[in-house]
Amino acid sequence: MIPDLEPATKLPCGSEDLGSGYVLLRAKDEYNQVIYGAQGDAIQEYLEAVTGVESPDNFQPSLQRWARLRLPNGQIARSAWKEKQKALNKVRMSRNVWYLDEAETERYGKIQFLFQAEVEHEIITVALMSPYNSLDEDLFRDSFSTLAVYHIPEEGQYEVVEVTSISSVVAMVPFDEGRVFAVHKMGLEICSMAGDVEADNEREN
């Protein structure tokens, strides 16, 4: 009766619906890219853990990277892979997310890129993440669990997490030298119930 209350169901061209409200959005690599260094090592370690198969000594992950992920709450999480290629005045700075790790512990991290892999004949979608570690426990306790201050991720520290573990995009605001604190967007639960979706005005390949 009131069309404006019905959330849009048409997905952008080239996107991939993952189910449960998660959607991969372009940009996407046209061809597989070999991932070297610490990023490749983190991906190899993850694949060995989920498959139970040890990789050959000369193994290097080869995959197609995705740039963005729409979350069930309507937010769009972006990746450092594409954001770092943009001019500063065009960067959206929404690559920081709140997620659950394998132990169901709440964590914060910065998405480097998203990708898909075949594990036991099933396609899984995951994110290569730079995690925020070293929570200031004293500040967190003294603020009644409201002020979460972390060190900025060190270069070379990565982990792989399934995209369904990502709950929301957050802001990581400078606190002091080398540290940031997490800020969540207010009212996300209400926006999700109303079917609000972040406007996607980007046109990426």
User: Is 131 within 8 Å of 109 (Cβ atoms)?
Assistant: yes
Residues pairing with 110 in the sheet: 96, 130
Mean of the per-residue pLDDT values for the chain? 87
Residue 94 token pair: 């929404």
In this predicted structure, the answer to whether residue 204 has a pLDDT above a threshold of 90 is no
Lowest-pLDDT choice from 10-14, 128-132, 157-161: 10-14
Distance of alpha carbon 149 from alpha carbon 12, whole angstroms: 36
Tell me whether residue 184 is in a domain.
yes
Residue 63: per-residue pLDDT: 96
Tell me whether residue 152 is in a domain.
yes
Residue 52 token pair: 């139970």
Distances (CA, A) of 118 to 3, 15, 63, 144, 165: 39, 19, 11, 43, 18
In this predicted structure, the answer to whether residue 190 has a pLDDT above a threshold of 70 is no
In this predicted structure, the answer to whether residue 191 has a pLDDT above a threshold of 50 is no
Tell me whether residue 204 is in a domain.
no
Tell me whether residue 9 is in a domain.
no
Distance of alpha carbon 72 from alpha carbon 168, whole angstroms: 9
Lowest-pLDDT choice from 19-28, 104-113, 193-202: 193-202
In this predicted structure, the answer to whether residue 155 has a pLDDT above a threshold of 80 is yes
Lowest-pLDDT choice from 16-25, 50-59, 86-95, 142-151: 86-95
Tell me whether residue 57 is in a domain.
yes
Q: Is 194 helix (H, G, I), strand (E, B) or coil?
A: helix
Contacts of 22 (CB under 8 A, 6+ apart): 69, 70, 71, 72, 125, 163, 164
Distance of alpha carbon 106 from alpha carbon 98, whole angstroms: 7
**What tens digit of pLDDT does each residue of 15-74 get?**
999 999 999 999 999 999 999 999 999 999 999 999 999 999 889 999 999 999 999 999
Q: Is 132 helix (H, G, I), strand (E, B) or coil?
A: coil
Distance of alpha carbon 183 from alpha carbon 97, whole angstroms: 10
Q: How confident is the model at residue 193 (pLDDT cuts 50, 70, 90)?
A: very low
Tally of domains within the chain: 1
Residue 111: per-residue pLDDT: 97
- The CATH number assigned to the domain holding 151 equals 2.30.30
Tell me whether residue 201 is in a domain.
no
Categorise residue 68: left if φ over 0, alpha if ψ from -120 to 50, beta otherwise.
beta
Query: Which has the higher per-residue pLDDT, 179 or 155?
Result: 179
pTM for this entry: 0.84
Residue 153: per-residue pLDDT: 87
Q: How confident is the model at residue 98 (pLDDT cuts 50, 70, 90)?
A: very high
Residue 199: per-residue pLDDT: 60
Residue 150: per-residue pLDDT: 96
Residue 112: per-residue pLDDT: 96
Parent domain of 145: 15-193
Element (H, E) at 189: helix 188-194
Tell me whether residue 162 is in a domain.
yes
Tell me whether residue 189 is in a domain.
yes
DSSP 10-78: PPPTT-EEEETTEEEEEEE-SS-EE--HHHHHHHHHHHHHHH--PPPTT---EE--EEEEE-TTS-EEE
